[in-house]
Structure 1
Amino acid sequence: MRSQLNLPDKDDTSDIQSDQNMYGGILTYAHFPHFNCFNPEFYDDKEIDIAIVGAPFDTGVSYRPGARFGPEAIRSSARRLGEIAVDKKHKGKKYPLDPYDSTTHDFKIIDCGDVAMTPFDNRIALNQLYRGIRAIHKHNPGSASRAHPKTITMGGDHTITLMALKSISERLGKPVKVIHFDSHIDTWDPTVLGGGVTDYMKLNHGTFLHYAHELGYITNKGNFHVGIRAPLIDSLYDSEHDSECGFSIIRASDIDKVGVQGIVKTLKEALGTEDPVYISVDIDVLDPSTAPGTGTMEIGGFTGRELLSILNGLKGINLVGADVVEVSPPYDTNSEITSLAATSVIDSFLQLMVIQVSN
């Protein structure tokens, strides 16, 4: 016997009013709410504690392009994340902090969408991104006890990190410490990587940390590269210059010597709990078997579990901003494992920020 189907009234739309679902709809990261974060009219009355923002830019790459489509792919891989409205069975009990469960925290997480970045002029595009992130930082946080919105930027190639660091250091009024997860050092000599024919060519995804140091956006010491394994261009100069830019190196192979906990211990002892920290994750820090959809792959990288374990172990640092970059969907597998990895990285960022903001 087939049970009788009781359909709603033909004018009842109560069950289809959501503009997002697991398979389709207007997409934001993990179905977080969205508004135009770049409109000055909203600075005072639209509160932001954590902003997720896309930077669709890939004209600063030295090898394979495609990362301009990274933000879209990362959001797509985050469809299964998000708040599900359920009646809590255990009334009165305190649930653990969960970025996707608004009953466990009191702050605003907003997907600001993508900054409109022109593909025709890097100088204009990067300035557009700077102005976009600066606009986000002008919003009021959800509580007077919180100094400013925190940003999580989805790249885009790694050049975009410079603009995030610029806006954050200006907002704080001081430089920040950087944890840079990557297979490449990205403090390369701009006259070598880029050719130095014009200033336009000098700024790219392999030189942005050189400029971040030169312009005073990052501290003179206490910064870390994690996961390095790519060859240097000039083995003597590059190492010395990288140190001058304030970086120490934890190589990918070091995880076989000291393990995840050894890396976490080194980072936390150097970073402390007060100094502002920015984390930048180039997805090529992962081994190509885990993240093939990226611009410049290097064999011998971390597994996804190792990277997430390190990030999650950094609970307690003063994380003021973060990004995940170099996700290039045209080179990903049919299963989209690279964008899925990036989605999980952002999940770890959110966990660190929720813990920090709520405590």
Structure 2
Amino acid sequence: MAFFESLSRLVAAVLFVSPFSHILVQGAGNVEYPVGIANTAAYGTINFTEIFAAYGHDKSNVAFGTSAYNGLTTFMRALPVRCFGADAATKYDVAVLGAPFDTATSYRPGARFGPNGIRQGSRRMSLDSINVAAKIRISDELDVVDCGDVPMVTTDNKVALRQLELANAALLSGSSLRTWEGKSIAKDGKFHPRVLTLGGDHTITLPLLRGVASIYGPVSVIHFDSHLDTSRPRKLAGGPWLPDEVVPVGHGSYFYYAHKEGLLAPDNANIHVGIRAPIDSWEKYADDRAFGFVISHAEDVEEVGWQGIVKAIRDAVGDNPVYITLDIDVIDPGMAPATGTPEIGGFTTREIKKILQGLSGLKVVGADIVEVAPGYDSQDEITQIAAANIGRGILGLMAKTPLTE
């Protein structure tokens, strides 16, 4: 009965809004919100905590509604935190970070809207829900916040990538909210937050790898993609203008630079998964191995199943610190059309989920999900929903395995 009385007061406050009379509405967590109503004497103070508790919700943040279609849109309803401003001192275990960048693509742009699209795709998800298949509740093990997007300029790629590098480094340099038994695998022996970055085109992985390598040393990369992305820098073609000018880093060459900078684990302890796009020379295979990768093709799943793909990944990375980077075009465009360079014959969403679940126990120090371009998605938002589910799976891996020796 108390619930209906409180709810009726809330409805009345919404229906009888007046610009001339105001009261303070008491929000959950002792937060007060200004609301105008016609008759303050009749309705008094509205207690959102009481209403949410009666409805079965005990969350203290009133910014999130009780339904998937209202409230603030953060990734999996993570707490929004101004990580580079007023809330810089806040501690957390995982930061979700948007990287709205797509000016280093080679075909269709639009991934600058990816961070927002992936968050939209996660509207029905919650950090408090139990992943039945993985048998994990993320919020039981990790405090996850959403730091919003890095303000990356659109007129200078070098500056934009530097902005992301500095933002990522700032997040990684702090101490995590929680600590775990055992010695941290970080070079300084401390427990640092982990970052899940929502891209953005795949070029963003280079500055992100610089950050994790500064904390953990060279890392093994699990690269889900239809393309190798280890191309050497090339000179401009198509005319006599600037014939010696080298094309800057882009979404197909960032691993070349990562190898040159010593960010990748040695001894071919890195792996591409889902490769199927054509290449323009046989030398690219030799380069790819020289840069530290082994390859698992998309077609391999027909022969060895998802279990065989998992075995190939585990054999490659061993017990090294792992960074996961996933280009959404690793999924078949029939299930994930919203991307810049789609290739037919990709994994199904179920196969990706099973492969990720099979990586339980790996020490995932960071991850990104890239190349989601919502402008090419269906009305059903299937690509954005797929990307959000992948993000949930990656957070589940982080929740299951602390970064200890």
> TM-score scaled by structure 2?
0.78
Which among 163, 167, 175 is matched to residue 132 of structure 1?
Answer: 167
1:183 partnered with 2:229: no
> Is the contact made by 1:46 and 1:140 (CA closer than 8 Å) also made in structure 2?
no
- Tell me the secondary structure at the aligned position of residue 350 of structure 1: helix
Partner of 1:340: 385
Write the distance in 2 (CA, Å) between the matches of 1:33 and 1:27.
10
> Is the contact made by 1:193 and 1:202 (CA closer than 8 Å) also made in structure 2?
no
1:116 partnered with 2:151: yes
- Tell me the secondary structure at the aligned position of residue 272 of structure 2: strand
> Is the contact made by 2:197 and 2:367 (CA closer than 8 Å) also made in structure 1?
yes
Which among 85, 98, 105 is matched to residue 137 of structure 2?
Answer: 98
Write the distance in 1 (CA, Å) between the matches of 2:220 and 2:236.
24
Code of the aligned partner of 2:233: P
Identity of aligned residues (%): 42
Partner of 1:36: 82
1:311 partnered with 2:356: yes
1:155 partnered with 2:199: yes
> Is the contact made by 1:46 and 1:139 (CA closer than 8 Å) also made in structure 2?
no
Partner of 2:125: 81
Code of the aligned partner of 2:248: K
> Is the contact made by 1:71 and 1:156 (CA closer than 8 Å) also made in structure 2?
yes
- Tell me the secondary structure at the aligned position of residue 299 of structure 2: helix
1:171 partnered with 2:206: no
- Tell me the secondary structure at the aligned position of residue 179 of structure 1: strand
Write the distance in 1 (CA, Å) between the matches of 2:92 and 2:194.
8
- Tell me the secondary structure at the aligned position of residue 136 of structure 2: coil
State the 1:237 CA deviation.
1.2
Q: How does 1:245-264 map to 2 (within 5 A)?
A: 245-264=291-310
Partner of 1:89: none
> TM-score scaled by structure 1?
0.88
- Tell me the secondary structure at the aligned position of residue 322 of structure 1: strand
Question: What is the root-mean-square deviation of aligned Cα atoms in Å?
Answer: 2.2
Code of the aligned partner of 2:147: C
Q: Compared with structure 1, are the counterparts of its residues 218 and 358 closer, same or farther at alpha carbon in structure 2 (3 Å cutoff)?
A: closer
Q: How many residues align?
A: 336
State the 1:36 CA deviation.
1.7
Q: Compared with structure 1, are the counterparts of its residues 356 and 286 closer, same or farther at alpha carbon in structure 2 (3 Å cutoff)?
A: same
1:204 partnered with 2:256: no
> Is the contact made by 1:194 and 1:202 (CA closer than 8 Å) also made in structure 2?
no
1:11 partnered with 2:45: yes
Structure 1: 4+ residue segments shifted above 3 A? 192-199
> Is the contact made by 2:271 and 2:316 (CA closer than 8 Å) also made in structure 1?
no
In the TM superposition, what whole-angstrom CA distance separates every residue of 1:229-252 from its partner, at most 9, and x where no partner exists?
A: 000011x21111011100111000
Write the distance in 1 (CA, Å) between the matches of 2:162 and 2:143.
26
> Is the contact made by 2:235 and 2:244 (CA closer than 8 Å) also made in structure 1?
no
Higher relative contact order (CA 8 A, sep 6+): 1
Q: Compared with structure 1, are the counterparts of its residues 187 and 162 closer, same or farther at alpha carbon in structure 2 (3 Å cutoff)?
A: same
Write the distance in 1 (CA, Å) between the matches of 2:312 and 2:283.
25
Code of the aligned partner of 2:83: C
> Is the contact made by 1:284 and 1:294 (CA closer than 8 Å) also made in structure 2?
yes
Write the distance in 2 (CA, Å) between the matches of 1:203 and 1:269.
30
Partner of 2:17: none
Partner of 1:91: none
Which among 98, 104, 108 is matched to residue 54 of structure 1?
Answer: 98
Write the distance in 1 (CA, Å) between the matches of 2:137 and 2:253.
36
State the 1:202 CA deviation.
2.5
Q: Compared with structure 1, are the counterparts of its residues 194 and 214 closer, same or farther at alpha carbon in structure 2 (3 Å cutoff)?
A: farther
Write the distance in 2 (CA, Å) between the matches of 1:84 and 1:58.
32
> Is the contact made by 1:56 and 1:114 (CA closer than 8 Å) also made in structure 2?
yes
Write the distance in 1 (CA, Å) between the matches of 2:236 and 2:72.
40
Code of the aligned partner of 2:288: D
State the 1:189 CA deviation.
1.8
Write the distance in 1 (CA, Å) between the matches of 2:201 and 2:236.
15
Code of the aligned partner of 1:121: D
Write the distance in 2 (CA, Å) between the matches of 1:98 and 1:57.
31
State the 1:26 CA deviation.
2.3
State the 1:198 CA deviation.
3.5
> Is the contact made by 1:282 and 1:324 (CA closer than 8 Å) also made in structure 2?
yes
Q: How does 1:22-33 map to 2 (within 5 A)?
A: 22-33=68-79
Partner of 1:219: 265
Partner of 1:90: none
State the 1:25 CA deviation.
2.7
> Is the contact made by 1:293 and 1:330 (CA closer than 8 Å) also made in structure 2?
yes
- Tell me the secondary structure at the aligned position of residue 202 of structure 1: coil
- Tell me the secondary structure at the aligned position of residue 365 of structure 2: strand
Write the distance in 1 (CA, Å) between the matches of 2:128 and 2:355.
28
Q: Structure 1 stretches of 5 or more lacking a match? A: 86-95
State the 1:83 CA deviation.
5.2
